[in-house]
């Protein structure tokens, strides 16, 4: 049985579930980035304050895209923070003021995100879900670049 966009319904359900996990990860990542943006102090304040804003703005866009992809697959996106907290592999961070610590938190979060994005990419390929494949391919390319740049920043 296929859904409206021609994806096997069982595969779409499986994709929606793992996309909801990614949605939860991005929601926690977004909120952690906001906290880093607000609380960062020190000599790197100006550059990191702007970079963290760039990251949370991008995460906000991805949150919407992921939720809309879940809806396209005829699933229901999670939308309560209690659900995000239960589902996310990314954990809440407390008020971090140190720039290096903040960058390390972001690197760790990106590592979690890229692992999940690759899982989704593999599942989407098996389901012949080109829309999700394209979305994840774009996310993976961007995440890889961000990881490279952040690691270079710390070197």
**143: pLDDT confidence band, cut at 50, 70 and 90?**
very high
**78: pLDDT confidence band, cut at 50, 70 and 90?**
very high
Residue 89, Cβ density class (10 Å: 0-12 exposed, 13-18 middle, ≥19 buried): middle
**79: pLDDT confidence band, cut at 50, 70 and 90?**
very high
**83: pLDDT confidence band, cut at 50, 70 and 90?**
very high
* pLDDT tens string 112-138: 999 999 999 999 999 999 999 999 999
Cα distances (Å, whole numbers) of residue 138 to 118, 132, 149, 151: 11, 10, 17, 20
Instruction: Note the pLDDT of residue 126.
Output: 97
* pLDDT tens string 20-59: 999 999 999 999 999 999 999 999 999 999 999 999 999 9
Class of domain 9-154: mainly alpha
**140: pLDDT confidence band, cut at 50, 70 and 90?**
very high
Q: Which residues contact 46 (CB under 8 A, 6 or more apart)?
A: none
Instruction: Note the pLDDT of residue 67.
Output: 98
Instruction: Note the pLDDT of residue 110.
Output: 98
The single-letter DSSP state of residue 88 is -
Instruction: Note the pLDDT of residue 61.
Output: 98
Which residue intervals of 40-129 are DSSP H helices? 45-72, 81-87, 99-126
Q: Which residues contact 45 (CB under 8 A, 6 or more apart)?
A: 99
Q: Where are the domains of the chain?
A: 9-154
Q: How far apart are the C-alpha atoms of 47 and 67, rounded to whole Å?
A: 31
The single-letter DSSP state of residue 13 is H
């Amino acid at each position: 049985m296929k859904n409206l966009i021609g994806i096997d319904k069982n595969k779409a359900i499986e994709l929606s579930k793992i996309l909801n996990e990614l949605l939860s990860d991005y929601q926690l990542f977004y909120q952690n980035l906001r906290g880093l943006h607000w609380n960062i102090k020190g000599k790197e304040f100006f550059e990191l304050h702007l970079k963290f804003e760039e990251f949370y703005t991008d995460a906000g866009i991805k949150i919407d895209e992921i939720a809309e992809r879940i809806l396209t697959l005829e699933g229901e996106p999670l939308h309560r923070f209690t659900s995000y907290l239960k589902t996310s592999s990314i954990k809440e961070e407390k008020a971090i003021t140190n720039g290096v610590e903040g960058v390390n938190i972001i690197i760790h979060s990106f590592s979690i995100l890229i692992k999940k994005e690759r899982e989704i990419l593999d599942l989407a390929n098996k389901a012949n879900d080109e829309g999700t494949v394209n979305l994840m391919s774009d996310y993976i390319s961007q995440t890889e670049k961000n990881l490279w740049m952040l690691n270079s920043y710390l070197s």
